[in-house]
Amino acid sequence: MDNKEQLTLIAKHFYKQRSAALPHSDLPEGLSVESLDDALAIQRLLITLNNDKVYGWKCMTPLADGTIIVAPLLKPTDVQTTTCSLKANNDNNKTSVFIEPEIAFILEKDLAKNQTFTDSEVDAAFGDAHMALELIQKRFSATGNATSYDKFADGLFNQGVYLGPKIDKEAAYKAGSFAVTIAQEGNDVLNLSAKHPAELPQNPLYWAMNFLSAQGVELKAGQVFITGSYCGLVELDTQKHTEFNYENLGTMAVTLTLD
């Protein structure tokens, strides 16, 4: 089996898990993701399998050890709906789901591939900022041997984004840290200290626009970009009215449901 055939089989396997009742992204014996280049190629194949639909990207500035965080959003964004449906995790026998509180930015202008963009050009290309939740799905088994390349190729646990109300873009650009409260009916209120892992939420945009363009990706107006979790992974009950407050930025309410 040549490398191209192997990467295609892996992409088809990962893509199938996104619609499975209980996903199992662990790779069958004989298949492996050997490098970052292979993982990026698999992400491109996932986009092809998704009828070339890309609704946005998750991204972060590279970590201190050089680890890259970027993945396409392959599911349409839920925009200020009263309910938001999530797929179950592979080990989820409970009625809970995982989210990460974030700020999202909407690309307002197309950005061509194979170009270099200054920070000011990136700022000008983005329009609205929103409160947002990254919707997380654990598709690999906890006892498996999934590598960092496997997880990168599979989309870094992303299953979608919930887009909340607009917030002032200037205020979003200054939102390095703030308090987050999450109130679910019948549960204790969660009081979380939010701090962006890249200091400011726009910083990953400057890196990601140039990285993706260099990879031959054409970025399209309307795409949603999330740039890093403020509070890490948060487990919440489903079927409960849930209110989120970002200190001095905004509030939103939604009921999370299992798909």
pLDDT in tens, the chain (259 residues): 578 999 999 999 999 999 998 899 999 989 999 999 999 999 999 999 999 999 999 999 999 999 999 999 999 998 989 999 999 888 766 778 999 999 999 999 999 999 999 999 999 999 999 999 999 999 999 877 899 999 999 999 999 999 999 999 999 999 999 999 999 988 899 999 999 999 999 999 999 999 999 999 999 999 999 999 999 999 999 999 999 999 999 999 999 999 8
User: Which residue from 108, 111, 226, 208 is spatially nearest to 159, judged by alpha carbons?
Assistant: 226
- 257 near 238, Cβ under 8 Å? yes
Alpha-carbon distances, residue 76 vs 30, 85, 137, 143, 254 (angstroms): 33, 12, 15, 31, 17
Give the C-alpha separation, 10 to 33, whole Å. Answer: 8
Distance CA 128, CA 115 (A): 23
Q: Provide the pLDDT for residue 1.
A: 53
What is the predicted pLDDT for the residue at 95? 79
pLDDT of residue 93: 65
What range does the domain containing 53 cover? 3-258
> What span, in angstroms and rounded, lies between the C-alpha atoms of 30 and 239?
41
Supply the angle between the helices 3-17 and 36-49 in degrees, to the nearest 10.
60
Query: 245 by DSSP, 3-state: which?
Result: strand
pLDDT of residue 165: 97
Phi first, then psi, for residue 248 (nearest 5°) are: 65, 10
Q: Measured between alpha carbons, how far is residue 81 from residues 84, 162, 204, 255 in Å? A: 7, 8, 27, 9
What pTM was estimated for this model as a whole?
0.94
User: Nearest-CA neighbor of 69 among 43, 51, 99, 88?
Assistant: 43
How many other CB atoms are found less than 10 A from the CB of residue 76? 12
How many structural domains compose the chain?
1
Give the C-alpha separation, 75 to 161, whole Å. 8
The pLDDT, as a whole number, for residue 22 is: 87
The two three-digit tokens of residue 135, written as one number: 């919707």
Residue whose tokens read 């906890």: 142
CATH of the domain at 236: 3.90.850.10
Could you write out the DSSP letters of every residue in 6-66?
Answer: HHHHHHHHHHHHTTSSS---PPPTT----SHHHHHHHHHHHHHHTTT---EEEEEPPPTT-
